[in-house]
Amino acid sequence: MLVLASSSPRRSELLHNAQVPFEVQAADVPEVPKKGERPLEFAMRLARAKADAVAQLRPGAFVLGADTIVVVDNKILGKPADAADAARMLRLLSDRAHDVTTAICLVMPQLRERITTQETTRVHFSLLTDEDIAGYVASGEPMDKAGAYAIQGIAGRWIEKIEGDYFNVVGLPVAKVYRILRQSGALK
């Protein structure tokens, strides 16, 4: 049995669409970077912490933890605190490229071995006007998204190019996760 240690509806949808059988059990892990922690270290630590927390509760299961971060100028853009924060993030992303990284941790049953990896995709935004930003923030879409945007939603109209895995930007690099699940024996 595979357990997804995430309450993300996007991750659930991606696994469901790939016809991967799984259950959801969200992990209660604070998503706060430690002082001096680099973005990739932060994402990897959270993915491990989520997977480990649920693995404690589900010792006979394969447990998949993941954390997606948006990074610009070596700074993590998390989920916006409010509308002003979302607008600030969108201004930072406007007319430039940034990286979206998803860290993945699969905890295997019994031996508690882990497979950890990550996927990074470069995303290029077009120039956003103040009206674009205000309208998008008013839509509510940015409010629970890392970096204050959803590539699969309204914000898709401003994505000029991506270099890498589209599904990674949505929240889970499906092909990489599927490969890991097959190799580990989580999928038959």
| CB environment 95-130: b (16+ within 10 A), e (fewer) | eeebbbbbbbbbbbbeeeebbebbbbbebebeebee
- Give the mean pLDDT of 153-171: 97
CA distance 96 to 91: 10
CA distances from 65 to 43, 113, 177, 187 (A): 10, 13, 11, 16
- Work out the angle between the directed axes of helices 130-139 and 83-93 (0-180°, nearest 10): 140
**Mean of the per-residue pLDDT values of the chain:** 95
Decide: 114 and 103 in contact? Cβ < 8 Å: no
Q: What pLDDT is attached to residue 85?
A: 98
Q: How many CB atoms lie within 10 A of CB 135?
A: 12
Main-chain phi, psi angles of 22, to 5 degrees = -160, 165
Instruction: Express each pLDDT in 76-95 by its tens digit.
Output: 999 999 999 999 999 999 99
Instruction: Express each pLDDT in 94-135 by its tens digit.
Output: 999 999 999 999 999 976 789 999 999 999 999 999 999 999
Catalytic residues: 67
pTM for the whole structure: 0.93
CA distance 97 to 106: 30
Tell me the β-bridge partners of 100: 70, 121
